[in-house]
């Protein structure tokens, strides 16, 4: 999609790695950045976030975000930090979820800077975060919500249409139609695509015809298993509970924790698993869960009540700070495990749910820990990828 009279696409991220998605559409009259993701994983990748930008961001007229995962929106605060103030087009669901995700990312950036100062291994004095909470807030102030299916002009010659992608709350594929000679041309960027049958989200919409189709293909070489994942989860929980054990389920905070809680609620109500207390030791899936639940709830209900009624099994306890997570092991009738890491407190007769960051091969997540394999304990259940 290049030439004197045709738009051009430049790949600035998401190439050679699965993170840092950024694609620049240059029509000759305007520039639109498709996704604005953070590089994650190995240190060689994370250093790219600090590198000089491949283009002058001030020449970008607008940004389009397909969904609220950090590898697609986590670099936005860097643009805001350097004074970029253009519109960021998102769906309403993405806007609400990205506010949570970016605030948490800023918190982690600031925390990493404090750790670097304490350890003395930063070349800066004091150590600097990539961005802070104020930068994340400025980025969120730029959000311009667009409803699925609406065709919205975002520059003089580019019109945007979002369609449901079914990946996480608010996720979308994006169609950009460009006024060009000899006639309009269109590009569709898939973002991350979900599947039919998501328990909390509407099914993905069919993508329209286009001149260029840009597809995320992180798992393009893998086949999905047809194993009944709910039954596999129920078998693992029941088997472990019968021998008095604990189950630790690492789960991504965005979407996966909500889906897992909804599955546990369904299994408990159908009698597929015993009645056990559940502990979520993530710092912030509660508001994310509430945002997901609000999509199908009456207006005016409090997100906590909605979250409990829609996503959560009975006896769910939330431990959103390391201190409160460590307290889980002191509850009467439960025993603290030998794990030394805060935030991972498996306890007898309980199923703990711990949210992870986004680990990449070779980079253990911030929450990783060695679990005891003594009798009566089980590590993460072996459940096929969903």
- Residue 309 inside a domain? The answer is yes
Of 214, 249, 274, which one is at a domain's C-terminal end?
214
Q: Once rounded to an integer, what is the mean pLDDT over residues 76-85?
A: 96
User: How far is it, in rounded angstroms, from Cα 98 to Cα 80?
Assistant: 15
State the CB neighbour count (10 A cutoff) for residue 374: 9
The pLDDT of residue 349 is above 70: no
User: How far is it, in rounded angstroms, from Cα 287 to Cα 302?
Assistant: 11
- Residue 378 inside a domain? The answer is no
The pLDDT of residue 352 is above 60: no
Please report, for the domain that includes residue 261, its CATH number. 3.40.50.10890
Nearest alpha-carbon partner for 21 in 2, 40, 43: 40
- Residue 376 inside a domain? The answer is no
Q: Between 217 and 365, name the one with better pLDDT.
A: 217
Of 180, 214, 248, which one is at a domain's C-terminal end?
214
In a 10 Å sphere around its CB, with 0-12 CB exposed, 13-18 middle and 19+ buried, how is residue 128 labelled? middle
Is the same domain home to 32 and 179?
yes
- Per mean pLDDT, which range of 80-89, 134-143, 349-358 is the poorest? 349-358
- Residue 285 inside a domain? The answer is yes
- Residue 362 inside a domain? The answer is no
Domain count, the chain: 2
Is the same domain home to 243 and 203?
no
The pLDDT of residue 363 is above 70: no
CA 191 to chain centre: 12
Q: What is the pLDDT of residues 224-269, one digit of tens each?
A: 777 788 899 999 999 988 888 888 887 777 778 888 888 888 898 8
The helix/strand/coil state of 265 is helix
- Residue 364 inside a domain? The answer is no
The helix/strand/coil state of 221 is coil
- Residue 190 inside a domain? The answer is yes
Q: Between 2 and 64, name the one with better pLDDT.
A: 64
Q: Once rounded to an integer, what is the mean pLDDT over residues 99-109?
A: 93
- What range defines the domain where residue 135 resides? 8-214
The pLDDT of residue 301 is above 90: no
What percent of the chain clears pLDDT 70, i.e. is strictly above it? 70
Q: At 225, phi and psi to the nearest 5?
A: -80, 145
Is the same domain home to 32 and 68?
yes
| Sequence-ordered list of residues with C-beta below 8 angstroms from that of 121, at least 6 positions apart, any chain | none
The pLDDT of residue 31 is above 80: yes
Is the same domain home to 292 and 181?
no
CA torsion sign for 367, 369, 372, 373 is: positive
Q: What is the pLDDT of residues 305-343, one digit of tens each?
A: 444 555 555 566 655 555 555 555 444 444 333 333 344
The pLDDT of residue 92 is above 90: yes
| Sequence-ordered list of residues with C-beta below 8 angstroms from that of 16, at least 6 positions apart, any chain | none
- Residue 107 inside a domain? The answer is yes
Nearest alpha-carbon partner for 60 in 35, 21, 23, 86: 86
Nearest alpha-carbon partner for 170 in 105, 90, 64, 103: 90
């Amino acid at each position: 999609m290049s030439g004197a009279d045709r738009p051009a696409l430049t790949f600035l991220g998401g190439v050679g790695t699965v993170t840092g998605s950024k694609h620049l559409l240059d029509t000759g009259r305007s520039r639109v950045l498709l996704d604005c993701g953070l590089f994650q994983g190995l240190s060689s990748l994370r250093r790219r976030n600090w590198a000089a930008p491949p283009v002058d961001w001030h020449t970008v007229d607008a940004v389009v975000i397909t969904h609220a995962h950090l590898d697609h929106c986590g670099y936005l605060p860097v643009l805001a930090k350097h004074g970029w103030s253009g519109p960021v087009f998102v769906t309403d669901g993405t806007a609400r979820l990205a506010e949570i995700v970016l605030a948490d990312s800023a918190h982690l950036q600031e925390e990493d800077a404090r750790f670097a100062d304490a350890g003395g291994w930063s070349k800066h004095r004091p150590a600097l975060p990539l961005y802070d909470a104020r930068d994340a807030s400025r980025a969120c102030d730029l959000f311009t919500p667009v409803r699925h299916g609406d065709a919205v002009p975002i520059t003089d010659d580019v019109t945007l249409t979002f369609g449901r992608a079914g990946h996480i709350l608010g996720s979308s594929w994006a169609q950009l139609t460009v006024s060009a000679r000899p006639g309009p041309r269109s590009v569709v960027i898939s973002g991350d695509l979900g599947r039919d049958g998501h328990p909390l989200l509407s099914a993905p919409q069919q993508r329209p015809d286009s001149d260029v189709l840009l597809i995320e293909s992180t798992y393009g070489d893998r086949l999905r298993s047809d194993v009944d994942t709910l039954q596999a989860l129920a078998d693992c929980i029941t088997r472990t509970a019968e021998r008095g054990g604990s189950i630790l389920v690492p789960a991504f905070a965005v979407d996966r924790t909500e889906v897992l809680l909804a599955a546990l609620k369904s299994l408990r109500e159908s009698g597929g698993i015993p009645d056990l207390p559940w502990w979520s030791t993530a710092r912030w899936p509660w508001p994310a869960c509430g945002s997901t639940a609000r999509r199908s709830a009456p207006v005016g209900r409090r997100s906590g009540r909605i979250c409990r009624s829609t996503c959560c099994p009975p006896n769910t306890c939330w431990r959103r700070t390391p201190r409160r997570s460590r307290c889980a092991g002191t509850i009467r009738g439960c025993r603290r495990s030998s794990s030394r890491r805060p935030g991972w407190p498996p306890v007898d007769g309980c199923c703990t749910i711990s949210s992870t960051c986004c680990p990449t091969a070779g980079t253990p997540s911030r929450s990783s820990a060695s679990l005891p394999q003594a009798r009566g304990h089980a590590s993460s259940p072996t459940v096929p990828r969903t």
